[in-house]
Chain A
């Protein structure tokens, strides 16, 4: 069966520090992968998605970037975090049915 792993679960980082969040998927090949962010009390905002290795589409211009170095690995990064980057970061992959399966998320607090 397919599983999706996301870590860390929580993170507290100072303003200006770098960020790296990793997501891996098991049990499937060539999945579509997504990074979403959910700010406190708000909806899910699509940040990036990828349909294959090295293929990244950016939905929101900001100080975040994403990379897909391997088929089942999706990484979200930032060189310098802002206070506004705080939120709940969710990785997801899509199945043939069209629905998404989410990882358990990373709750990031920038202080």
Chain B
């Protein structure tokens, strides 16, 4: 079983739509969780950390379900500029981050 699994997509959604991505992780000792965004041929950039209580940043909401070992990212009111690959990332204390392969989102006008 892969450490971090994501649906590769692509998710093709119209502008203004709400879209959600899920990610599952295999190691129950995982402690930190993040969502990164990667534009085509660019480096990944931190989008947001994921906290146990869930957190929101503008149109983006991240949630963590430790019991089921999954993380979600919800994007409301999608913009064309949201088109990118979204990487789910988990960390076990004092070890390097483990990246999922990413979910590709394409927002269409």
Using a CB–CB cutoff of 8 Å, the interface residues on chain A facing chain B are: 34, 36, 42-44, 46, 49, 59, 88, 90, 94, 97-105, 107
Contact = CB atoms under 8 A, between A and B. Distances in A.
B91 interface: yes
B100 A99 contact: no
A42 B99 CA distance: 11
B96 A99 contact: no
B22 interface: no
15 contacts: A34-B96, A36-B99, A43-B87, A43-B101, A49-B96, A94-B97, A97-B49, A98-B91, A99-B46, A100-B46, A102-B43, A102-B44, A105-B42, A105-B43, A107-B41
**Chain A residues touching B, majority SS:** strand
A90 B49 CA distance: 21
Interface of B: 32, 34, 41-46, 49, 87, 91, 96-102
B43 A103 contact: yes
Contacts of A42: 101
B41 A44 contact: no
Contact of B97 (A90, A100, A104, A107): A100
Contacts of B46: 99-101
Contacts of B34: 98-99
10 nearest CB pairs, A to B: A43-B101, A102-B43, A44-B99, A98-B32, A99-B46, A105-B43, A49-B96, A46-B96, A104-B43, A99-B34
Nearest to B2: A43
A29 to B, nearest CB: 19
